[in-house]
Amino acid sequence: MARFLFAATPATGHVTPALPLVRALIEAGHEVRFTTGREFEGAVGRAGAVFTPVPEEVDWSGMTPDERWPERAALTGLKKLQWDIANYFIAPIATHVRHVQRMLAEEPADAVVCDPPFGAAAALRELGGPPVIHYGISTLGLPSRDLPPYGLGLLPMGGPLGRVRDRALDAILRRTVFAPSVGQVDAQRAAIGLPPGRRTALETGGDVALYLQLSTPGFEYPRTDLPDWVHFVGHPAAPPASSAFMPPPWWPEVTAGDRPVVVVSQGTISTDPAELLRPALTGLAPADDLLVVAVTGGADPAVLGPLPANARAAAFVPFAELFPHASAVVTNGGYGTIQLALAHGLPMVVAGRTEDKPETTARVAWSGVGVNLRTQRPSADRIRAGVRRVLADPSFAARARALRDEMEDGSTPERRAVALMETVVRPAAG
């Protein structure tokens, strides 16, 4: 038996991917504690782990970033990206380090397991903490000589010209976008007694024992310099529905199979329904041969306005229940939704340009599993055309099913992950 301490940035897309791993570790006989925002106490408890909240001053769970920081709403483009890096990911590092150190002093752990943006784990390791295991919450962002800098959404070019392009872009980004993060990271390091690292936010990963990429190789760009501590484990299943889930009155229409079901989801961070939900409902309204299910991610469905005759809406519907009945997914490119769609072999239409969306949506098109509309605010007509295309062209669904089955070997992503995590802690666990 080993002891694992999970620490996650308090946001849905950072916490939810860890829960299947928690359940699998506990089923394998290991002990798991989990620290994150208070909003996730119930979900962590249902997964079987012992929950400890992060300090209140770094707990923004239950709020969108703009609700937590009203000044953020006025920012756009580069300024917003730099603000997010500084405040969302760098500023909490010292507080998280002290918090996790207290937890480890009370009860040691054989490994700390966290999402890659949880920068405290690398600092903890420098301070003599246990091995660090990352679980990937987005596309693989590790730098590579074969790829352009992460975040731009550019496809690999290859060859000498591609290498020149990529090196030039990397140098420009470091001198502009990420330059302010050097001093910000070093200020956090000084607060916990570490010397200056003179590294940007891109380089704070530290000494990682294992990186679990929650996807399959077919969804990632090929690279010749992938570290040997990076392992693809496949698309984890959606968390099981809570016993509190009550199917909406229109649920029999979903399960009947009378017409293809198209799921529209905009995630929990980019919550303006005018960006994707409303245009999708408008664009698909004439398609009475389809049943459109819009999931707002928490907001009252009334924000969508009057629904077309072929549409149904809910604040939440467990994807574990919904996706087995779906034929396609329209999403703003959240990595978790994409991976759950692939776990069910579903083609998709994606439209997103914020956070990591340029990278996730680019890979959807590159891997052949869907259509990338390459915008944050697609028109109703473009969404309708994209949905018609992925439903009419069987190659999209075939490719999605191929990625679903790519690592089929009789195991599951969770079991593969547990086996790999056990290799990290085995010497300590005995």
Do residues 269 and 393 both lie within one domain?
Answer: yes
Q: Considering the domain boundaries, does residue 343 fall inside one?
A: yes
Please compute the mean of the pLDDT values over residues 273-301 and round it to a whole number.
Answer: 95
Average pLDDT, the chain: 92
Do residues 291 and 369 both lie within one domain?
Answer: yes
Range of weakest confidence among 13-17, 201-205, 365-369: 201-205
Q: What is the pLDDT of residue 350?
A: 98
Helix 380-392 with 277-284: angle, nearest 10 deg: 70
Q: What is the pLDDT of residue 73?
A: 84
pLDDT digits (tens, 9 = 90+) for 87-124: 989 999 999 999 999 999 999 999 999 999 998 988 99
> Cβ atoms within 10 A of the Cβ of 354, count?
17
Task: Mention every residue, 6+ apart, whose C-beta is less than 8 A from residue 359.
Answer: 138, 139, 141, 150, 151, 153
pLDDT digits (tens, 9 = 90+) for 201-242: 877 566 899 999 999 999 999 999 999 999 999 988 766 666
pLDDT digits (tens, 9 = 90+) for 22-39: 999 999 999 999 999 999
Q: Considering the domain boundaries, does residue 242 fall inside one?
A: no
Inform me whether the pLDDT recorded for 244 exceeds 80.
no
Range of weakest confidence among 38-42, 240-244, 376-380, 423-427: 240-244
Q: Considering the domain boundaries, does residue 259 fall inside one?
A: yes
The sign of the torsion formed by the CA atoms of 311, 14, 107, 52 equals: negative
Do residues 261 and 302 both lie within one domain?
Answer: yes
Do residues 398 and 414 both lie within one domain?
Answer: no
Q: What is the pLDDT of residue 204?
A: 59
pLDDT digits (tens, 9 = 90+) for 35-50: 999 999 999 999 999 9
Residue 355 to residue 352: CA distance in whole angstroms: 9
Q: Considering the domain boundaries, does residue 240 fall inside one?
A: no
Which helix (H) or strand (E) covers residue 133, if one does?
strand 132-135
Type of residue numbered 102: R
Q: What is the pLDDT of residue 428?
A: 54
Domain that holds residue 213: 3-234+409-429
Q: Considering the domain boundaries, does residue 244 fall inside one?
A: no
Q: Considering the domain boundaries, does residue 151 fall inside one?
A: yes
Please compute the mean of the pLDDT values over residues 50-77 and round it to a whole number.
Answer: 88
256 or 244: which leads in pLDDT: 256
Inform me whether the pLDDT recorded for 187 exceeds 70.
yes
Looking at residue 389, which CATH number applies to its domain? 3.40.50.2000
Q: Considering the domain boundaries, does residue 74 fall inside one?
A: yes
Q: What is the pLDDT of residue 28?
A: 97
**Number of domains composing the chain:** 2
Residue 171 to residue 344: CA distance in whole angstroms: 40
Predicted confidence band of residue 410 (pLDDT cuts 50, 70, 90): confident
Type of residue numbered 422: E
How many percent of the chain have pLDDT more than 70? 96
349 or 270: which leads in pLDDT: 349
Do residues 129 and 221 both lie within one domain?
Answer: yes
Q: Any idea which residue has 């074969």 for tokens?
A: 146
Q: What is the pLDDT of residue 17?
A: 93
Check: CB of residue 11 under 8 Å from CB of residue 428: no
Do residues 32 and 128 both lie within one domain?
Answer: yes
Q: Considering the domain boundaries, does residue 138 fall inside one?
A: yes
Inform me whether the pLDDT recorded for 397 exceeds 90.
yes
293 or 78: which leads in pLDDT: 293
Inform me whether the pLDDT recorded for 169 exceeds 90.
yes
Do residues 169 and 138 both lie within one domain?
Answer: yes
Inform me whether the pLDDT recorded for 430 exceeds 60.
no
Q: What is the pLDDT of residue 312?
A: 98
Type of residue numbered 400: A
Q: What is the pLDDT of residue 207?
A: 85
Please compute the mean of the pLDDT values over residues 47-68 and round it to a whole number.
Answer: 91
Instruction: Tell if the pTM clears 0.85, that is, is over it.
Output: yes
Q: What is the pLDDT of residue 243?
A: 64
Closest by CA position to 136, among listed 34, 65, 216: 216
Parallel, antiparallel or unpaired: strands 261-265 and 348-350: unpaired
Do residues 333 and 283 both lie within one domain?
Answer: yes
pLDDT digits (tens, 9 = 90+) for 126-152: 999 999 999 999 999 898 999 999 989
Judging by beta carbons within 10 Å of its beta carbon (0-12, 13-18, 19+), is residue 369 exposed, middle or buried? buried
Parallel, antiparallel or unpaired: strands 291-295 and 132-135: unpaired
**Tokens (6 digits) for 261:** 């079901």
Do residues 207 and 286 both lie within one domain?
Answer: no
Judging by beta carbons within 10 Å of its beta carbon (0-12, 13-18, 19+), is residue 274 exposed, middle or buried? exposed
Do residues 288 and 201 both lie within one domain?
Answer: no
Residue 161 to residue 164: CA distance in whole angstroms: 5
Predicted confidence band of residue 252 (pLDDT cuts 50, 70, 90): very high
Do residues 415 and 339 both lie within one domain?
Answer: no
Do residues 130 and 255 both lie within one domain?
Answer: no
Q: What is the pLDDT of residue 239?
A: 66
